[in-house]
A = this chain, B = another copy of it.
């Protein structure tokens, strides 16, 4: 019996937003059609996965009705700590249906699964089991932010979240700035929206005058707002922060 495939299904970036895009505007038809054909899912949260499938159904009818879709959730410690910190998490049992010949979709809450989001343990398990992995095209906030920053896109790193504790955060900002200035490698990072204001303040207080700082907020939304300037310009005219708006931060030279 031939194996099913593991499809990596991207989601629109309007998770939790008041107004949501029409999916055709932000996802290729090829992605929507592939997603509509899948009946077995691995996700972070079954409820939001169902809501997203309902939106897909509005564009391309699902192969199976919503209530017949098989949805498995990733364990909570994988959400929290990430697949790699979680260490020994074995995702192979989640892929049983693919071994039996059925395609499975791995779905993120927003953007690409396994990029700045859980899921890589599932992809790794697929490779171990000889299950083909098919990444589908969709929005990735990190890359949209990087392209729109004007910072070096030929050498860059995404380092996830910075420490929450004030002193450790300042030290990490200094470390990333030094790396960016020394090597020319753009450093990207994110924060939970309600901590964006504190992070921005720490950046303004810590970074050197001529370091370039970019903040991309609400990417792909009507309210999108991308600013990229030397820190001295940020200091002269600080940014009002919206506590609900997801943001990507980047520093470089």
Contacts and interface: CB of A to CB of B under 8 A. Distances in A.
Interface in A154-205: 154-160, 184-185
A152 to B, nearest CB: 5
Given A135-B219, A160-B154, A115 B146 contact: yes
Contacts of A38: none
User: A interface, how many residues as a size bin?
Assistant: 35 or more
Given A8-B148, A135-B219, A154-B160, 15 more contacts: A8-B147, A26-B30, A84-B184, A114-B153, A115-B146, A115-B147, A120-B154, A122-B150, A124-B228, A135-B147, A135-B148, A135-B226, A137-B138, A140-B143, A155-B160
A155 to B, nearest CB: 5
A133 interface: yes
A128 B119 CA distance: 38
B112 A154 contact: no
A221 B26 CA distance: 20
A165 to B, nearest CB: 19
Given A140-B140, A147-B115, A26 B25 contact: no
